[in-house]
Each structure stands twice: as C-alpha cells, then as structure tokens.
C-alpha cells in the first residue's frame, strides 16, 4: 500500500502564511486554508465557532443585528483571510470539533487520537479555517454552528472535551479560560478588586474566582452597564459591591469606585468589556503600584500605556493573554463547583 506523503511544516505554522511573507499566522493578512495537512498538523471537523465577544459585537453592530448579513460577513472574512480574524478588532475566538486526521510528526505527548472531540485553546485569528456552510447563527449568541474544517499547528494547544459538561457549555467557558486563571494569579486575600464588565461570560467567571481569592476581608467591585446583568451578579452573590454605569464615562465610574474604597483605589482591576475607550477608567480606579489586567480585545494598548503616563500612574498594565498554564482545568472546575454559573451558562449556550 502506498504510504501517504506529507509536506514538512514549521512548528509555528509559518508555512501557512500567504502574506506578508516572513510573519507568523496571527499577524498575517492571509493564510493558506487548503485542508491538506502538513506532517505536524491536526485536521479538525469543526462543529461550532465561538467568536470573540469584541469581534461578534462589532459584526452585529455593523450588520444592524441582521443574522443573514452577519453570516455573509463572517463568510467573507474567512474567504478573504483564510481564518476568522475580524479586520476591525483583530481578534478571533476559538472552536470545537472532532479530530479528523493527525500528521505523523504532530507531537505524541499531546495524547490525541482521531475521533476525539476537542476545543482549540488558540485564537481563530491564527487558525486556518474553511467554512462550507453556516448552519445556525443567532445575533444574541457568539456561538456559530458550522460545517467547516480547521488546522491546528504543532505549537497549538487544545483541550479534549470533558464527559461531564455539555460541549457548548465547555466551549463557552474555555473561550475565556485565560481570564479567571489570571485572576487566580493576581488576586490575593484582602485585596480590593474591580471587575469592569463583570456581567458577561468572562466577567462572571472572574467574579467567582476573585470572590474566592479575596476572602472575608477583601472587596470585589463590579462595574456593569446592563441593569439585568448587574442584578444577576447581585442575585448570585458574585461581588461585594455592584455599580451600574457606563465604563466609558471615566469620572463617573472613578468617583463611584473611590467612594466605595474610601479614596484608596483598587489593588487589581480586571477589564472584560467588549467596547472601546474604557482604558482610562481601569487605570484611574487602580491605586499606585496596583495592577490592571486588560482581558478585553477592544483595548487600545497605546491608549492604556500613554494614558497611564499622562495621569502619572505608576501601575502594572498586563496584556490579556488567553493562555495561562492550567487555565482550562481551573475554568471547567468553576463550572463544576458553581451550580448557579453552570445553570446560567446552560440557559444561554446549550
């Protein structure tokens, strides 16, 4: 029997970059999305895309919430770029699917076999993707059911989907797994924490982890634009204080947070919003030598860096890295531990 020949690929997927030559897949403008795998790649039959919140919000707004227009826009982005990377936000998302083929040089230590259901833990903004058909799209959910194929590089990380959590629930949680994992690293007992955009998916998981870490003597302050989302946080006891406000209105939020903290400010601020221009709110509510973690992909890091300098704030600004060692297990464990969060996410995503 003739043995299949595979082309040799680069660990980081540079062999898939069409333009500009010499760059990596994430910043590339176009990828080769031919679904013939190289020796070190994984081929995935994709069932659902979880599009990044900032990206999905932008698509929804530009299409006036029209589902058919949103489908066309997503298909045109993938057709043009060979990946699902929103040209406005630059962000992607992640996917779930079934392993279809494994290259002979895909690392054996990744313990994967054909037929395994997995969630990719790398961004769609660097994942070669080919969509045959969008099966279902709702403007109110950033999960899009598709008939599609995708490629995972040798350097790509993934999680085999657990048996005890429904697929779409696991996908929703794993999409933002980096956020609660970073909260776990940054927040210690007795801290005052501000979570801006606390009522969304990543915000809720961050609130849970922050409340766990601050203990009885700390505070978790949530700033949330939506009244219903704010009430949800109150009902689930996921914060000590909830402020309903527009996070782009810097001084309004600053004054309200300062009142709660007695003018001290916050030790750690977590920014989870999916709209631009909340950088200075995050910076001003944080005390000197404190820390701001920008998980939001709507963040302008130029605004954040120059803005902090402009108001004389010596604080640590952390770029939201969606990967943290152990982040998948930590996040899935929140779903296992909190029946309320599980029920809420099941209602929305399953």
Sign of the alpha-carbon dihedral angle for 341, 94, 56, 249? positive
Of 134, 95, 170, 208, nearest to 350 by C-alpha is: 170
pLDDT digits (tens, 9 = 90+) for 287-319: 999 999 999 888 898 999 999 999 999 999 999
Residue 204 pLDDT class (50, 70, 90 cuts): very high
Report pLDDT for 349: 83
pLDDT at residue 321, as a whole number: 84
**Torsion sign (Cα): 63, 67, 72, 77:** positive
Q: What are the respective helix, strand and coil percentages of the chain, to the nearest 5?
A: 35, 25, 40
Q: Using a CB cutoff of 8 Å and minimum separation of 24, what contacts does 247-254 make?
A: 247/196, 247/197, 247/223, 247/273, 247/275, 247/278, 247/281, 248/275, 248/276, 248/277, 248/278, 248/281, 249/281, 250/280, 250/281, 250/284, 253/196, 253/223, 253/281, 253/285, 254/281, 254/284, 254/285
343 band by pLDDT with thresholds 50, 70 and 90: very high
pLDDT value at 148 more than 90: yes
Domain boundaries, the chain: 14-161, 178-344
Tens-digit pLDDT profile for residues 227-279: 999 999 999 999 999 999 999 999 999 999 999 999 999 999 999 998 889 99
Instruction: Write out pLDDT tens, residues 84-119.
Output: 999 999 999 999 999 999 999 999 778 899 999 999
**Does residue 132 surpass a pLDDT of 70?**
yes
Mean pLDDT throughout 35-52?
Answer: 96
Classify domain 178-344 at the CATH superfamily level.
Medium-chain alcohol dehydrogenases, catalytic domain (3.90.180.10)
Q: What is the mean pLDDT of residues 155-165?
A: 93
Average pLDDT score over the chain: 95
3-state per-residue secondary structure call for 245-264: CCCCCHHHHHHHHHHHHCCC
């Amino acid at each position: 029997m003739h043995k299949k020949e595979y082309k040799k690929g680069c660990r980081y997927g540079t062999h898939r970059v069409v333009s500009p030559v010499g760059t990596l897949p994430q910043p590339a403008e176009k990828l080769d999305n031919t679904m013939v795998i190289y020796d070190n790649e994984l081929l995935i039959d994709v069932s659902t895309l979880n599009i990044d919140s900032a990206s999905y919000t932008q698509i929804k707004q530009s299409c006036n919430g029209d589902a058919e227009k949103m489908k066309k826009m997503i298909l045109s982005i993938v057709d043009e770029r060979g990946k699902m990377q929103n040209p406005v936000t630059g962000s992607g998302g992640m996917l779930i699917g079934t392993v279809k083929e494994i290259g002979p040089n895909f690392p054996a230590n990744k313990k994967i076999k054909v037929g395994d259901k997995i969630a990719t833990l790398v961004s769609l903004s660097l994942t070669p993707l080919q969509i045959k058909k969008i099966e279902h799209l709702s403007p109110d959910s950033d999960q899009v059911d598709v008939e599609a194929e995708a490629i995972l590089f040798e350097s790509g990380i993934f999680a085999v989907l657990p048996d005890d959590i429904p697929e779409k629930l696991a996908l929703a949680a794993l999409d933002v797994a980096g956020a609660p994992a970073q909260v776990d690293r940054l927040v210690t007992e007795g801290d005052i924490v501000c979570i801006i955009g606390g009522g969304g998916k990543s915000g809720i998981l961050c609130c849970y982890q922050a409340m766990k870490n601050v203990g009885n003597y700390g505070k978790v302050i949530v700033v949330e634009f939506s009244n219903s989302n704010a009430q949800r946080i109150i009902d689930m006891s996921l914060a000590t204080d909830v402020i309903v406000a527009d996070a782009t209105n810097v001084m309004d939020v600053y004054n309200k947070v300062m009142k709660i903290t007695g003018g001290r400010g916050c030790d750690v601020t977590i920014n989870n919003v999916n709209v631009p221009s909340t950088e200075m709110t995050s910076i001003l509510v944080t005390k000197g030598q404190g820390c701001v973690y920008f998980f939001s992909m709507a963040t302008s890091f130029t605004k954040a860096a120059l803005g902090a300098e402009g108001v004389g704030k010596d604080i640590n600004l952390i770029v939201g890295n969606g990967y943290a060692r152990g982040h998948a297990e930590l996040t899935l464990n929140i779903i296992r531990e909190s029946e309320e969060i599980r029920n809420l996410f099941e209602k929305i995503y399953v």
